[in-house]
Amino acid sequence: MSDVDFHEYATACDHCDWVNVISPMRAGDQLHCARCGHTIITLHPNAASQLLSNGCSAALMFIMSLCFVFLGFSSSGTSQQITLLDCIYSLMGEHYISLGIIVTLTLLVLPIVYLTAVILIALAMRKGRIRRSYYGLLHTLSALQPWLMVDVFLLGGLVALVKLHSLADIQLGLSFWAFCAFTILLVRTASFVDKRWIWYRLCGPAPEVAVRQASALSQGLKGCQYCGALVPEQKHKCQRCHHVLHHRKKGSLGNTLALLMAACALYVPANLFPIMITTFLGRSEPSTIMGGVILLWGLKSYLVAMVILVASILVPVAKILALFWLCWQTRFHSAGLLQQKQTQRIYQMTEFVGRWSMVDVFVVAILSALVQLGAVMNIIPGVAAISFAAVVILTMLAAMSFDSRLLWDKSEEITI
């Protein structure tokens, strides 16, 4: 099977459940859903080779980013240097174990697992065959991609540098530049991961079923959200990837609302209590999220202040409100096609922006590791750090548990 050919078969859109027929495609082609406009598949030129080369390069840069000094800091004749691993050790040492686990997973564990899966799958594509044990790796790619936050961590590092620039001299170590390269390569690697193309290359087309231009649900079919196959409703597992299937995510609205209520409860202490505490010459100054924005604005770092304001204040509030509104739209409102498309875009935006709110948590992790100069100056996480991290994670889980296909069901007068 060549890199460029993609022969005809039918698949359901992940976002609106509309059945689309994938006509023969070649490298560089894209297919968009005929109903909601969501990109169903993208065929990148030389995608298999790009996955392998970018994945291996990202893994090499990741190893290099762990081997050298990441950042250096000096003030009043005292200096400090840290590696990436020190960001984790400092949190564990200050007994912020939950925060340390979050940083460990998003910065180390998940990127390693993701790159390992990408490299093994790319090698399997070069051989033209796949073992049954690789199915779990294919499922892993879809599940882990939203939690890859190395780009958010890098932004957090830049914000931390701006905060410290007026107080001390900052040195960028070799690992910092290696991590920049790793971030670019990982993002580029993820851009070549297209689940439908990968499953097609490794396992061939899904079993054929008779379809028409309508939703999968109205035709008695289930769309697999892992590999894109269409399966008759009496089947409980996908015939291609063997994943358990449901017409819609079980308890979607209930789970989304429960997660949103928990996020709302934690959002209050996340903003009222200090997210970090700075001690300078024996004097401690707690800083809230908004306090950090005001400080950066006072230092004339207007762009960075706006980034923190948007990412840590406006985005979480907007995402919570948007998800509540989407749940209400799903439960009580029946809209026309144009409004449904607009509602769909709002949901896609909430999925995209939510992870960037983690930037303030990473800023605290970096500063608490870097600024440890004894009686001269030190920074430790505040009690709001874990609350805010929990808010970000809960809102991301809420967006994932929401089934956007429910937004489109009323247009066909389907009772689920």
Specify burial of residue 342 (Cβ count, 10 A radius: 0-12, 13-18, 19+).
exposed
CA-to-CA separations, 114 to 136, 144, 275, 336, in angstroms, rounded: 12, 7, 30, 40
Q: What count of other Cβ atoms lies within 10 Å of the Cβ of residue 28?
A: 10
In a domain, 274, yes or no: yes
Q: Give me the number of domains the chain comprises.
A: 1
Q: What pLDDT sits at residue 146?
A: 87
Residue 25's identity, in one-letter code, is: M
Segments of the chain scoring below 50 in pLDDT: 1-6, 414-416
DSSP string, 190-216: HHT--HHHHHHHHH-SPPP----SSBT
If you ran DSSP here, which 8-state letter would residue 310 be given? I
In a domain, 59, yes or no: yes
In a domain, 95, yes or no: yes
Q: What pLDDT sits at residue 37?
A: 85
Q: What pLDDT sits at residue 266?
A: 94
DSSP string, 257-273: HHHHHHHHHHHHHHHHS
Q: What pLDDT sits at residue 380?
A: 80
Q: What pLDDT sits at residue 307?
A: 81
In a domain, 23, yes or no: yes
Q: What pLDDT sits at residue 334?
A: 56
Helices 47-67, 174-191: crossing angle, 10 deg rounding = 160
Q: What pLDDT sits at residue 374?
A: 65
The tens digit of pLDDT for each residue in 244-258 reads 888 888 888 899 999
In a domain, 4, yes or no: no
The tens digit of pLDDT for each residue in 270-283 reads 989 988 887 766 67
| Helix (H), strand (E) at residue 231 | strand 230-232
Q: Tell me how many degrees the CA angle 193-230-189 measures, rounded to the nearest 5.
A: 0
Q: Given phi > 0 = left and psi -120 to 50 = alpha, else beta, which region is 77?
A: left
Question: What tokens appear for 382 in the block?
Answer: 């505040």
Average pLDDT along the chain: 83
In a domain, 92, yes or no: yes
Q: What pLDDT sits at residue 283?
A: 74
Nearest to 205 by CA among 244, 239, 246: 239
DSSP string, 128-160: T---GGGHHHHHHHHHHGGG--HHHHHHHHHHH
Residue 356's identity, in one-letter code, is: W
The tens digit of pLDDT for each residue in 35-52 reads 888 888 888 888 888 999
Q: What pLDDT sits at residue 408?
A: 83
In a domain, 282, yes or no: yes
Enclosing domain of residue 124: 9-412
> Which residues, including other chains, have CB under 8 Å from residue 265's CB and lie 6 or more apart?
none
Residue 19's identity, in one-letter code, is: V
Helix (H/G/I), strand (E/B), else coil: 15 = coil
Q: What count of other Cβ atoms lies within 10 Å of the Cβ of residue 170?
A: 15
In a domain, 1, yes or no: no
